[in-house]
Amino acid sequence: MSHFSSIKTQIRNLESLQASLNNLGIEWKNGPSTVRGYQGQTTQAQIVIEQENNYDIGFAWNGQEYELVADLQYWQQPWTVDGFLQRVTQGYALHTVLQESSKQGFSVTEQQKNNDGSIRLVVQRWS
């Protein structure tokens, strides 16, 4: 019986996911690569975050989005699973907005992280 849990996300762009992990200072391996779990069980993922306890965290493509896959009993991160996903998702959204804004000719004139953790962006485009 597998101990791996899969948690759905709204993450669809690999480059933005990688940028989010980089911004959080999280070391990761590009896959496809093996995610290690309970009693030697493994699964494949496109992004693998190795933990010191030899139980990994991965982001695996399910055909629509990247799901977080891990044996949550052996979670070893500075944040809870929810806290981790919130930070990754926020960074993912920020990178996606910046990337899409740039494609449409906008540039960031102000970026501010608020006390509540939200991010305020001001973009402009000269016509």
Alpha helices (runs of H) in the chain, residue ranges in sequence order: 14-23, 81-103
User: What pLDDT shows up at residue 2?
Assistant: 59
Smallest Cα–Cα separation from 31: which of 66, 83, 78?
66
What pTM does this model have? 0.86
Q: Can you tell me the mean pLDDT for 79-106?
A: 93
